[in-house]
Amino acid sequence: MLSKLNDQDPRVRRTRQLIEQAFDELLTEKNFDSVTVQDVTEKAQINRATFYAHFEDKYALLDHSIRQKFRQEIESRVLNACHYTPENLRMLILTVCEFQVKLNTSCAQSQKQFSPLVEKQIKEQIYELLLVWLRKMNIPVSAEMPATAATWAIYGLASYWSASKNRPALETYVDEALPLVAVNLNQFAPEAA
């Protein structure tokens, strides 16, 4: 059905939380493919029909879960409430890198199964964040293209790092990555104008 539920309703918040929590726990036990909607609803102790009132299917739940967790990382570093600086960009890259390894360690199996879904969700949020940053420094050209380039570069660099056999130290890696991404954005920064 998915007739939009009221996010303010305590019941809605509660059952969403139950679903998300059950889902998280299940992902630490088995891989995503073998988790069924029934598993989730049984662990969450809700009716299966209720699940479908909240999420279209288990893929929508995964999307939501990834999105939410990444958003939390962003928000905990108040990156969402700030503007562009090389330091903030550096922190963003670092966050994406850390998120990748966190996913790999907290899930039962390496999440090859759903990596495309993860990539989509993360990139969407990086992109939105960069757009906000760029729009704050009213630039002469459209923000979409620099934001797109930077988004893909950040995600690509983070993936590359997290997949490396012998991962270099995160800090030094990010130091190297930063200029590769910043070059597209620095030109619009106030001090460079």
Smallest distance from DNA to CB 62, Å: 12
Instruction: Quickly count helices (H) and strands (E) in the chain.
Output: 8, 0
Radius of gyration of the chain (CA): 19
Which is nearer to DNA, 112 or 135 (by Cβ)?
A: 112
Question: What is the Cα–Cα distance from 184 to 193, expressed in whole angstroms?
Answer: 13
Q: Does 170 bind DNA (CB under 7 A)?
A: no
By CB under 8 A, is residue 14 in contact with its own copies? Answer: yes
Q: In whole angstroms, how close is the CB of 41 to its own copies at the nearest point?
A: 10
For residue 142, state whether it binds DNA (rule: CB under 7 A).
Answer: no
Nearer to DNA, 4 or 165 (CB): 4
Residues 56-95 interacting with DNA (rule: CB under 7 A): 56-58
Rounded CA gap, 59 and 67, in Å?
A: 12
Asked if residue 47 binds its own copies (CB under 8 A), the reply is yes
Q: Choose one: 40-48, 52-60, 62-70, 91-99; the region binding its own copies (CB under 8 A).
A: 40-48
By the rule CB under 8 A, 8 interacts with its own copies: no
Pair of tokens at residue 30: 């088995």
10 binds its own copies (CB under 8 A): yes
How many other CB atoms are found less than 10 A from the CB of residue 123? Answer: 17
Angle between helices 58-76 and 115-136 (to 10 degrees): 40
